[in-house]
Amino acid sequence: MKNANIISVILLLAMTGCGGNSQKSNDNDAIFTVDVKESYPKKELILQDFMDVEYIALETSGEFYTQGMVLAIGKEIIVVKNRVDDGDIFIFDRNGKGLRKINRKGQGGEEYVFVLSVALDEDNSEMFVNSHSTRRILVYDLYGKFKRSFRHKEGAMYNKMYNYDKEHLICQQEYFPTYDPESNRNSIFIISKQDGSVKEVEVPFEKKISTVMMQQQGEWTYSNAPRNHIITPFQSNWILAEPSSDTVYKYLPDGNMRPFIARTPSVHSMEPEVFLYPGVLTDRYYFMQSVKKEYDFASNRGFPRTDLMYDTQEKSIFRCTVFNGDYTNERPVNMFRDPVSEEIVFWQSLEADHLFEFFEKGQLKGKLKEIAAGIEEEANPVIMLVKHKK
């Protein structure tokens, strides 16, 4: 089975190699194989050695007091909400200055019940709010004025949502505890920004596999699943990691797909299954995470993970840990956060009281030390933006 899978991937690569990719081809286009059962050698990296890091202290004044959960980041603004479900959406500029607070929470036709995610379209001065519990996307201008809304695809519930192009969003299906595999075969949708009409992205795989773990306790059914993202922007393309597929694909602007990563053994041959998800992707390093489908509901712990990295220069795979170089002690960085955009790879919220403590102990340096020197202990979080090196 393993050899057949690898051969089919290589053949598919050969057939698509001359397809309509507008990007320049290079050695990084070559597919590689990850053995999710292999124990790879360890490697450590410093984040600032291969990424640019920016810190933004969010203004703390009046109505601008937030727990700092970033929803979207554009060229000019940052969209933030609280972790509690209060409906507040804060708009800051890219320097952290508070611009306005919006709250359209409610049961009306122009209101959201819960803000799961937001896609930002600065070119059209619009933001798309995913109220997933009501299976609706509501469109507002950047001052909170309602413009239009549309429903999720029938039978689907969108989870992650990103800006795809001028006319479309790209969305990831929520994994249901129970679902009909035939009617929910596809997990990735390209959505019209105007009316919500759907194009389903068909990632090839043998059979649909659920990532959800379930347990029945009396009248109640409990469930949990890995929360890894399966769509990642990379080099003007999108990387698609359908958990039921033995191949991670590169989705090109013309709608064609090209194999990007092969995994072995086949996910269909494993029990419990081990899934492979992409993380941060750079010109040199491809971060990945294998997640085992195991969960203990009694301890509320499970889905053991292994952080992996493929070095395109060394042509080797490692178990990799990345540290933030702006701390004097070793502070690991999570390289598997949700992606933001082509410019900003991911964000992290740094609590002001923690930074204040590290600063007092002399455990900060560089740009982070400069930022921490000017904030109060009760201030809004500092947002760390991680970007590709220029």
Please check whether residue 137 is in contact with residue 131, taking contact to mean a CB–CB distance below 8 angstroms. Answer: yes
Q: How many domains does the chain have?
A: 1
What would the 3-class secondary structure string for the chain be? CHHHHHHHHHHHHHHHCCCCCCCCCCHHHCCEEEECCCCCCEEEEEHHHCEEEEEEECCCECCECCCCEEEEECCCEEEEECCCCCCEEEEEECCCCEEEEEECECCCCCCECCCCEEEEEHHHCEEEEEEHHHCEEEEEECCCCEEEEEECCCCCCEEEEEECCCCEEEEEECCCCCCCCCCCCCCEEEEECCCCCEEEECCCCCCCCCCCEEEEECCEEEEECCCCCCEEEECCEEEECCCCCCEEEEECCCCCEEEEEEEECCHHHCCCCEEEEEEEECCCEEEEEEEECCEECCCCEECCEEEEEEECCCCEEEEEEEECCCECCCCECCCCCCCCCCCEEEEEEECHHHHHHHHHCCCECHHHHHHHCCCCCCCCCEEEEEEECC
Please check whether residue 86 is in contact with residue 105, taking contact to mean a CB–CB distance below 8 angstroms. Answer: yes
CATH code of 275's domain: 2.130.10
Per-residue confidence in pLDDT tens, the chain, 390 aa: 444 444 344 444 444 443 333 333 445 567 999 999 999 999 999 999 999 999 999 999 888 999 989 999 999 999 999 988 899 999 999 999 999 999 999 999 999 999 999 999 999 999 999 998 899 999 999 999 999 999 999 888 898 899 999 999 999 987 665 556 556 789 999 999 999 999 999 999 999 998 999 998 888 989 999 989 999 999 999 999 999 999 999 999 999 999 999 999 999 999 999 999 999 999 999 999 999 999 999 999 999 999 999 999 999 999 999 999 999 999 999 999 999 988 899 999 999 999 999 999 999 999 999 999 999 999 999 999 999 998
Domain hosting residue 20, numbered range: 2-388
pTM of the predicted protein model: 0.89
